[in-house]
Amino acid sequence: MSRYYPSQPLVGVGIVIWKDDQFCLIKRVKAPRKGMLSLPGGAQELGETYFEAAKREILEETNMVVKVLGLVDVVDSITHDDEGKVKLHYTLVDVYAKWISGEPQGGSDAMDAAWYPYETLEWLILWSETERIIQESRALWQGDT
Protein backbone atom coordinates (compact mmCIF):
# COMPACT_ATOMS: atom_id res chain seq x y z
CA MET A 1 0.00 0.00 0.00
CA SER A 2 1.21 3.47 -0.84
CA ARG A 3 2.19 5.80 2.00
CA TYR A 4 0.62 8.69 0.11
CA TYR A 5 -3.15 8.78 -0.29
CA PRO A 6 -3.56 5.41 1.44
CA SER A 7 -6.83 3.47 1.46
CA GLN A 8 -6.49 2.91 5.22
CA PRO A 9 -4.24 4.10 8.07
CA LEU A 10 -0.72 2.70 8.30
CA VAL A 11 0.51 1.43 11.67
CA GLY A 12 3.85 2.63 12.92
CA VAL A 13 5.81 2.47 16.16
CA GLY A 14 7.73 5.24 17.88
CA ILE A 15 10.19 4.48 20.64
CA VAL A 16 11.53 6.64 23.47
CA ILE A 17 14.81 5.02 24.52
CA TRP A 18 16.06 5.95 27.98
CA LYS A 19 19.62 5.74 29.26
CA ASP A 20 19.81 7.31 32.70
CA ASP A 21 18.17 10.73 32.22
CA GLN A 22 18.86 10.90 28.47
CA PHE A 23 16.64 9.96 25.54
CA CYS A 24 17.52 9.23 21.92
CA LEU A 25 16.34 11.17 18.88
CA ILE A 26 17.03 10.67 15.20
CA LYS A 27 17.11 13.11 12.31
CA ARG A 28 14.56 11.88 9.76
CA VAL A 29 15.61 10.94 6.21
CA LYS A 30 12.06 10.68 4.81
CA ALA A 31 8.80 12.61 4.85
CA PRO A 32 6.83 13.41 6.84
CA ARG A 33 9.02 15.78 8.83
CA LYS A 34 12.11 15.08 6.71
CA GLY A 35 15.26 16.56 8.28
CA MET A 36 13.60 17.10 11.65
CA LEU A 37 14.41 15.49 14.97
CA SER A 38 12.05 12.66 15.83
CA LEU A 39 11.67 9.51 17.83
CA PRO A 40 13.16 6.46 16.15
CA GLY A 41 10.54 4.14 14.71
CA GLY A 42 8.79 3.01 11.60
CA ALA A 43 6.18 0.79 10.04
CA GLN A 44 5.03 -2.37 11.72
CA GLU A 45 5.44 -5.41 9.48
CA LEU A 46 2.86 -8.14 8.93
CA GLY A 47 3.08 -10.83 11.63
CA GLU A 48 5.14 -8.62 13.94
CA THR A 49 4.02 -7.42 17.39
CA TYR A 50 4.55 -3.74 18.07
CA PHE A 51 7.23 -4.61 20.67
CA GLU A 52 9.04 -6.67 18.01
CA ALA A 53 8.65 -3.82 15.53
CA ALA A 54 10.10 -1.37 18.07
CA LYS A 55 13.19 -3.51 18.72
CA ARG A 56 13.76 -4.06 14.98
CA GLU A 57 13.34 -0.39 14.11
CA ILE A 58 15.72 0.71 16.89
CA LEU A 59 18.40 -1.67 15.66
CA GLU A 60 17.92 -0.55 12.02
CA GLU A 61 17.81 3.19 12.76
CA THR A 62 20.23 3.59 15.66
CA ASN A 63 22.32 0.38 15.89
CA MET A 64 21.26 -0.05 19.52
CA VAL A 65 19.67 -2.92 21.42
CA VAL A 66 16.84 -2.10 23.84
CA LYS A 67 14.39 -3.72 26.19
CA VAL A 68 10.88 -2.45 25.48
CA LEU A 69 9.15 -1.70 28.79
CA GLY A 70 5.65 -0.62 27.87
CA LEU A 71 3.11 1.46 26.02
CA VAL A 72 3.13 5.26 26.35
CA ASP A 73 0.21 6.24 24.08
CA VAL A 74 -1.27 5.94 20.60
CA VAL A 75 -1.08 9.01 18.35
CA ASP A 76 -2.90 9.75 15.09
CA SER A 77 -0.84 11.60 12.51
CA ILE A 78 -3.10 12.72 9.65
CA THR A 79 -2.00 15.11 6.91
CA HIS A 80 -4.45 16.60 4.40
CA ASP A 81 -3.54 18.08 1.03
CA ASP A 82 -4.72 21.49 -0.20
CA GLU A 83 -7.99 19.95 -1.43
CA GLY A 84 -8.72 18.37 1.95
CA LYS A 85 -7.94 14.79 0.89
CA VAL A 86 -6.01 12.58 3.31
CA LYS A 87 -2.44 12.56 2.01
CA LEU A 88 -0.86 10.65 4.94
CA HIS A 89 -2.47 8.75 7.81
CA TYR A 90 -0.43 6.95 10.44
CA THR A 91 -1.56 5.39 13.69
CA LEU A 92 1.56 5.56 15.84
CA VAL A 93 1.97 3.21 18.79
CA ASP A 94 4.53 4.87 21.06
CA VAL A 95 6.48 2.77 23.55
CA TYR A 96 9.34 3.40 25.92
CA ALA A 97 12.45 1.28 26.26
CA LYS A 98 15.59 0.83 28.31
CA TRP A 99 18.94 1.07 26.52
CA ILE A 100 20.88 -2.21 26.65
CA SER A 101 23.85 -1.77 24.30
CA GLY A 102 25.30 0.07 21.32
CA GLU A 103 25.95 3.71 20.61
CA PRO A 104 23.50 5.82 18.60
CA GLN A 105 24.34 6.23 14.96
CA GLY A 106 22.15 6.97 11.96
CA GLY A 107 20.89 3.92 10.11
CA SER A 108 18.30 3.00 7.47
CA ASP A 109 15.85 5.91 7.87
CA ALA A 110 17.94 8.18 10.07
CA MET A 111 20.58 10.71 9.03
CA ASP A 112 21.82 10.83 12.60
CA ALA A 113 21.00 9.54 16.07
CA ALA A 114 22.08 11.02 19.40
CA TRP A 115 21.39 11.17 23.13
CA TYR A 116 19.74 14.29 24.55
CA PRO A 117 19.61 15.16 28.27
CA TYR A 118 16.00 15.51 29.43
CA GLU A 119 16.60 19.08 30.60
CA THR A 120 17.22 20.12 26.94
CA LEU A 121 13.74 19.00 25.81
CA GLU A 122 12.22 22.48 26.00
CA TRP A 123 14.93 23.83 23.65
CA LEU A 124 14.49 21.24 20.93
CA ILE A 125 12.27 21.85 17.90
CA LEU A 126 9.95 18.84 17.88
CA TRP A 127 6.43 17.95 16.79
CA SER A 128 4.22 18.71 19.81
CA GLU A 129 3.11 15.08 20.04
CA THR A 130 6.75 13.91 20.13
CA GLU A 131 7.47 16.26 23.03
CA ARG A 132 4.36 15.07 24.88
CA ILE A 133 5.27 11.40 24.40
CA ILE A 134 8.80 12.01 25.72
CA GLN A 135 7.38 13.77 28.79
CA GLU A 136 4.86 11.01 29.48
CA SER A 137 7.43 8.27 28.94
CA ARG A 138 9.80 9.93 31.41
CA ALA A 139 7.23 9.60 34.18
CA LEU A 140 6.84 5.91 33.31
CA TRP A 141 10.62 5.45 33.08
CA GLN A 142 11.21 7.06 36.46
CA GLY A 143 8.63 4.71 37.95
CA ASP A 144 10.55 1.72 36.53
CA THR A 145 14.00 2.77 37.77
pLDDT digits (tens, 9 = 90+) for 85-131: 999 999 999 999 999 999 998 777 778 899 999 999 999 999 999 99
Fold of 10-144: Nucleoside Triphosphate Pyrophosphohydrolase (3.90.79)
pLDDT tens, residue by residue, 34-43: 788 999 998 9
pLDDT at position 1 over 70: no
> What's the whole-model pTM score?
0.91
Whole-angstrom CA distances from 2 to 9, 69, 88, 90, 129 are 10, 31, 9, 12, 24
Rounded CA separation 14/21 (Å): 19
Q: How many whole angstroms separate alpha carbon 91 and alpha carbon 29?
A: 20
DSSP helix/strand/coil, 114: strand
